[in-house]
Structure 1
């Protein structure tokens, strides 16, 4: 495979060979169900995921928290299986099963031996199509989710991360917490969650992806049979739900400075700006920028903040991208008295990169780090399964390792410098959790830091 392969929503069948002689196949059923597989030579296991392109950002007033609530409830039983039956089905074969709620999708997944694929299809299909959303279980899970949120609230890094999204993205729906807030969960009603379930878990919403030891024809037959047994009418023609628009949204900054005061030994510090969308042509450049700036032990942030000055144990950068917005952020955990100094140093390093660019050695190291990490990640069927899901739901195209490396080789040092300049010119948001004061960040917020 020498270039990305597009995934048109109106194409019923698609098949091609990817790097490593993996075979990728995609089937779109007349009902709109999309089924994708990546058959990996030599595999004896597989990972299967059932995806719907609905996440926390899609919740409307009165439904906040429904996505996370539903993720929990789908494990609590169907007319034919109790919650214990679902757990036993996977435990009995040494498999794993779980779910993940994101800002733009939800995925229910399992990892099993190849011989156990029919069981995984049956159970996941049953869960996704036929959840009871029992009223008593609903109240039980309300308590479980509130405990989960309380646990996250005890983790200052989690608190900082949630407030960081709010600060950078403001009123944009991506700024809301994925799991909801305690107030949202306390106010959620079963009727609202049930409405959310019925509106978003339909044939045209469903994407099934499998990676590992899988045969597409068998997979399609198993999924079709399971869906029909669950009562879904697959004879009704429907077009798969359209992908989200990838035009960058107008972002209005939330708060330039957010401080959550807590009597902690460390301050959890985040600084960032709006980033780029997931489909942006510069996304590979962003990966290189992130690698050089804060992506490893040889990165600029790690060397300047930790190795040279000993100001933090954990320090890094990150750059998540979504359909119409993104972030570029820097994190450090440090002594509260040093928070202002660390913030100034991190921002200074960003300006230094933006103005003076990167070296040839840094470009070489970044290419090696990214290519090696990509190759190693693909040893795991979970990663391959997730790549299929994101390719179908978010990007509308599939890029294998060879294509990723080709695109990586095209990135220049000037591309990185220019993107860094774009990031450095954005509105700076600072979030700190710990025993710190506002005046510690006066220089950062005035944007007077220069190399």
Structure 2
């Protein structure tokens, strides 16, 4: 069974999964360390997670989490920006960062012999970055180019618009992760520093690492690196009690006939119309999340899926067509996507909705159920061959779920999904269509 993690014991040091080599400790300052030792590889992936994302920003500071992520690569009191980049390049490793709605992650993948360097550089970045005005001026231009690049991609702008419409454009979770041109331009260096001081603290930090490593040795490297950067790590301190909740997404509206949903149109110079259709879905903590994975696989998860076979293979109405979902701690969404020539839009929209509605009324076959389970479990198992994927899984379990679940337990939960669970969920989602976004040429 899943093992609930301990937050109240400052001496917490637990072997979460002896067979898989997974261990969790609370270090001085309340820093959480989760490792999976794997002696079959010669590398290690190290991730430093902060449970702060774009939904934690004040509206006037939208984009500050993403800006801060960029600035932490621009130099510390001990290293220049070039030094940070060269540290990983010269050993053949790689390093990067991700800003999401509910977390920020800094990570590096190196040979196991170079893990001390990775720990030193990453802890230096999060504790002792200079956060200078000149660096902000330069990096702001880079970020504005990044936002412009997303505006040029119809799938990027379409998805962001769809997400905002479903979750609420005025809610924190509905705002774009990178902010807007206006908010990024207005952001002052003191705003970024304030964001760093508030959120980058020992009790918020979660470190996950997978590969050829020693848990105790890595713990020592992390404590030394964080203290070197100026963090005070008190013995007996406790970690943050899970993620602070943000504003909930709005309640679902009454079910609408898909044909009656007015599309949110974005005019772009494009040969195709990019269609996003869907509504509110399941949170990341929902007990039905495994049934949702099966549903998404059957509906639009591959070349054998219903959407692909009906809309592309049998009718030739689109080249790209699929289903998708996203889950957060207290909200979620589901969507169907297709790109087609503008004159086919009405027919494609009708077919997209029809497939989900038919799953809700008639269910799926036993063959479809088993094929979907095979696809999910196979891709899940293959993904875990990579140390970076396993590092990400440990971080997600800690930050989102607050408990460790073994691979075997996850596979068992997927295996328990039955035809009735998928049909019931499909019926619920089919009654939740609320949003339609189209990106394409002027009609």
State the TM-score, normalizing by the size of structure 1: 0.93
Report matched runs for 1:106-117 at 5 Å. 106-117=104-115
Aligned to 1:136: 134
Aligned-partner Cα distance in 2 for 1:247–1:303:
40
In the superposition, relative to structure 1, how do residues 14 and 319 fare at CA in structure 2: closer, same or farther (>3 Å)?
A: same
Residue 60 (str. 1) matches residue 58 (str. 2): yes
Structure-2 separation of matches of 1:216 and 1:273: 43
Q: 2:63·2:180 contact (CA, 8 Å) conserved in 1?
A: yes
Match of 1:210 in 2: 209
The one of 305, 313, 334 equivalent to 1:299 is 305
The superposition leaves residues 119-169 of structure 1 with CA deviations (integer Å, 9 ceiling, x where unpaired) of 000000000111101110110001000011111111010010110011111
1:449 maps to none
Give 3-state SS (helix, strand or coil) of 2:230's partner: coil
**Contact 2:16–2:24 (8 Å) recurs in 1:** no
Q: Quote the residue 1:382 is aligned against.
A: 388
Long gaps (5+) in structure 2: 254-260
What is the 5 A alignment of 1:93-108? Answer: 93-108=91-106
Conserved 8 A contact 2:56-2:102: yes
Q: TM-score, normalised by structure 2?
A: 0.95
Question: What displacement does 1:247 show?
Answer: 11
1:264-311 Cα shifts (integer Å, max 9, x gaps): 101111011101110111111111111111111101111111111111
**1:181 lines up with 2:180 in the alignment:** yes
| Cα RMSD, aligned residues only | 1.7
**Aligned equivalents of 1:305, 1:429: Cα separation in 2:** 20
1:116-135 matches, cutoff 5 A: 116-135=114-133
Which region of structure 1 is more displaced relative to structure 2, 150-159 or 229-238? Answer: 229-238
**Distance change >3 Å, CA 245–CA 294, structure 1 → 2:** farther
The corresponding residue for 1:365 is 371
Q: 1:295 to 1:172 in 2, by over 3 A?
A: same
Q: 1:404 to 1:247 in 2, by over 3 A?
A: farther
In structure 1, what is the Cα distance between the partners aligned to 2:29 and 2:309?
54
The residue aligned with 1:273 is 279
Q: Distance in 2 between matches of 1:187 and 1:221?
A: 41
Q: Aligned with 2:284: secondary structure?
A: coil
Q: Is the 8 A contact 2:227 2:233 kept in 1?
A: yes
Counting only pairs closer than 5 Å after superposition, residues 49-448 of structure 1 correspond to structure 2 as: 49-170=47-168, 171-235=170-234, 237-244=236-243, 249-252=248-251, 257-435=263-441, 437=443
The answer for unaligned runs of 5 or more in structure 1 is 438-451
CA contact (8 A) 1:244 1:394 kept: yes
Change (3 A) 1:436 1:291: farther
Quote the offset at 1:31 in angstroms.
1.4
Secondary structure at the aligned position of 1:180 is classed as coil
- Tell me, in whole angstroms, the C-alpha distance in 2 between the residues paired with 1:292 and 1:93: 43
Paired residue for 2:14?
14
Shift of the alpha carbon at 1:390?
A: 0.6
Tell me the SS of whatever aligns to 2:327. coil
- Count of paired positions: 433
SS of 1:22 mapped into structure 2: coil
Q: CA deviation at 1:404?
A: 1.2
C-alpha offsets along residues 300-325 of structure 1, whole Å, 9 cap, x if unaligned? 11111111111111111111100000
CA 1:180–1:247: 2 relative to 1, 3 Å: closer
* Aligned residue number for residue 440 of structure 1: none
Displacement, 1:249?
A: 3.3
1:398 deviates by: 1.8
The 1:134/1:15 distance shift into structure 2, 3 A limit, reads: same
Structure 1 residues 235-244 or 147-156, which shifts more? 235-244
